[in-house]
Structure 1
């Protein structure tokens, strides 16, 4: 594997090299933990350089000497190379954002292009791994002698980052990610009893749900269409819906709390029995 610093000068700051290698080692270590389940130790070795070269030649070897030249060891290192390569490719495409949606995953598989794509996505999604790539680019950006930075794992074309694009690849949204990770949602089949309603589009209604009062902004198209068509909804009526409950983790109670509600699908209007007129 090779790390290349592009520039017109034959020098770079020592801290640039040291920091980038430390971040690179963190990526390799996290990839190895995920690939082996923590059963293998990998050493990062820097091979001898030619004078004035900006190409850093890196080798990975298994720490256990008895396995050094085994077919198992060779296959393991090859898989590790592919994962580290794929991690950098994903970072360049997603610019540090995690792979979350199914669409993201399908895109990621195309980018990675190897059989280790599931492990590679898991490795890439770890904040310390993406932070290590981001810090490497940030370090290169701080050195005026570096005009480009690339990683070549020998499995594909090198993954390159150019100085003019350095800033857009420095990702610092990990705090927001942490907040998102502390949130979850659940879609439930629910019957909501109406206790207060407002027919203005986007207005807030109040309901009874499982013995608790809840309120939400009603935006469901099917429900609003019923209202526009003249269907009468009144206090005490119920609606059968698919409802999304947004929850946030409370570290004090070590449990998720319901924070907000949203109707995602209107299914049925259940009218309360009306008192019949006597005359």
Structure 2
């Protein structure tokens, strides 16, 4: 036996081209299939194999713009029935929760995040418990439910959402909306299409660690071209580090001399992240505190011997009896 729940909603497209409440099936059919793919993929991403979801078309049509009633039916496997009466009751995202995470309900979710990003690709994403911080830049970040990020990174979810919105690229179709219980819960305009491009899923770094430490670095090679990084050694390993200290960069522009072997006392930021299935390590010199000359090695010869000092070298004292 299975349990199931149903979530009924109404989707509509609006605009001058739909004034007679007719829509080209070549625009409508892919959008409806994409809605089914979107919610099915979101359900699988959030619930795995514990629940399945299908989207059905209701027989009734509503007047007004061109709209159609849909029902998202979620089937829950019988063996997980017990979690609904125990502490694991929140382990399964139901149909309403899935639509909220997608952004069809509540003005947030994935759609809300994409609207705030406006087509920009995040610099990195950090998870803090059940909240994820999406860094648009080093000074701007957006906090969302960690499940939204799972959907953001899911290629099927993103491409399906892009297809749902795609009819807005047609001349005369200006709005896509979702209605529940006669209330508009989502309205997307045609000037927002760029925000829903699926290509922004690529190369988003998942930060594992982000630390800033006080370090002594020895310069191994350097370049004064903008954007290039210096090769440095910290006593353990050699690596490349970019420089973001504006005061130090001004000294470089003013002609301060640097060379191989010079030592810098710095605040060094090191970020370890995962991107595209690869582990990355990025080092940034946030601030240069001191510039020193190359380290000097102590001379192996003794230069402080006085007049009473013993002769250098090795020898054996002999005595004749």
User: TM-score, normalized by length of structure 1?
Assistant: 0.66
Gap runs ≥5 in structure 1: 109-116
Asked if 1:171 is matched to 2:213, the reply is: no
Q: Report Cα offsets for 1:133-183 as digits up to 9, x if no partner.
A: 2222223423x46342112356974322234x1544452534xx4245599
Aligned residues: 259
Structure 1 residue 128 displacement after superposition: 2.8
RMSD: 4.8
Match of 2:40 in 1: 29
Give the conservation status (yes or no) of the 8 Å contact 2:119–2:196. Answer: yes
Structure with max Cα Rg: 2
Cα distance in structure 1, aligned partners of 2:114 and 2:228 = 41
Match of 1:57 among 50, 61, 69: 69
Q: Report Cα offsets for 1:4-62 as digits up to 9, x if no partner.
A: 01120221111222111111112211221233233101121111123766221111223
Structure 1 residue 82 displacement after superposition: 2.2
Give 3-state SS (helix, strand or coil) of 1:158's partner.
strand
Asked if 1:94 is matched to 2:88, the reply is: no
Cα distance in structure 1, aligned partners of 2:152 and 2:228 = 42
Give the stretch that moved more between structures: 153-162 or 29-38: 153-162
Match of 2:95 in 1: 77
More helix by share: 1
Asked if 1:161 is matched to 2:188, the reply is: yes
User: TM-score, normalized by length of structure 2?
Assistant: 0.59
Match of 1:131 among 159, 177, 199: 159
Give the conservation status (yes or no) of the 8 Å contact 1:243–1:264. Answer: yes
Give the conservation status (yes or no) of the 8 Å contact 1:12–1:146. Answer: no
Structure 1 residue 221 displacement after superposition: 3.7
Give 3-state SS (helix, strand or coil) of 1:149's partner.
strand
Give the conservation status (yes or no) of the 8 Å contact 1:5–1:55. Answer: yes
Structure 1 residues 132 and 255, CA, compared in 2 at 3 Å: closer, same or farther?
A: closer
Gap runs ≥5 in structure 2: 1-8, 126-133, 304-321
More strand by share: 2
Give the conservation status (yes or no) of the 8 Å contact 2:268–2:283. Answer: yes
Cα distance in structure 2, aligned partners of 1:51 and 1:257 = 52
Give the stretch that moved more between structures: 191-200 or 47-56: 191-200
Q: Report Cα offsets for 1:55-111 as digits up to 9, x if no partner.
A: 2111122335978xx9979982332232232333333343455664255433x5xxx
Match of 2:219 in 1: 194
